[in-house]
Structure 1
Amino acid sequence: MSSVRVITDPDFKAEVLDAAQPVLVYFWASWCGPCRLMAPLVDTVADRYSDRIKVIKMEVDPNPETVAQYKVEGVPAFRLFQNGEIKKSTEGAISKQKLEELVTQNLLTA
C-alpha cells in the first residue's frame, strides 16, 4: 500500500501548509497520459522517503481553488512545500531520478 495521501481543496491548509515536515504535492488529471506514467514513481518516492516527507496527490479538475492559487498550468506538476511555502516546483513528466533528486536535494536543506 502506498503512503501517498489523496486530498481536496478543503484539506490543503491542514495537510500541506500546516504540515510539520516537507510536503510534495503531485497534481494530476485522470485524462493525462503522462500522469499515469508518473503515478508509480510518485508511489515509490513516497514509500522510500515517508519518514522524512509527506507525499500528497491532488486531482486538478475537482480542486480549482488550489490549482489556481499555486498556478498549476500543466500536469503532471509537483510543488514541494516547507513551512507553508513553495520551495521547488516543476511541471511535466520527469524521470524517477529527477523526482528523487527533487526530494533528496531539498530534504538536505530542510
Structure 2
Amino acid sequence: MMLKAHRNHPLWLAYMLHRLSGLALALFLPVHFHVLSLALTRPESLDRFLGLADNPGVKLAEFGLVFLLAVHFFGGLRLLALEFLPWSARQKTLAAASIAGAFLISGAFLLQAV
C-alpha cells in the first residue's frame, strides 16, 4: 500500500502521535478515576490494587503513561507554535525534539520508579 505524499512528511507523524496519545489518555482516565474511587469506597480493594503496582509490568506501563502525557504536552506546544509563530524549516527539528523530550521525561520517571 502506498502512502499519500503528506503522510511521508515527519510532521504528519507528530500530528498522528499527538492524536493517538490524546486518545490513549482519554481511554486511561476512566480507569484512573475508578482506582481513585476505591480509596473512598473500598480501601481494602485499593490496597490490593496498589500491591500490584510493584510489578515490573506495571512500572513499564507507568513509563508508557508518562511518555504519552509528555508526548501530548509537547505536541500541544507544537500546535500552539504552529498557530502563533511563523512557519519555519526548523519545525521538523522541534517535532523531533518534542519526542526526545517526552522520552527523556518518561525515562527519568521510569528510572526513579524502579
Same fold, judged at TM 0.5 (above)? no
Q: Name whichever structure is richer in strand by fraction.
A: 1
TM (norm. structure 1) is 0.28
Q: Name whichever structure is richer in helix by fraction.
A: 2
TM (norm. structure 2) is 0.28
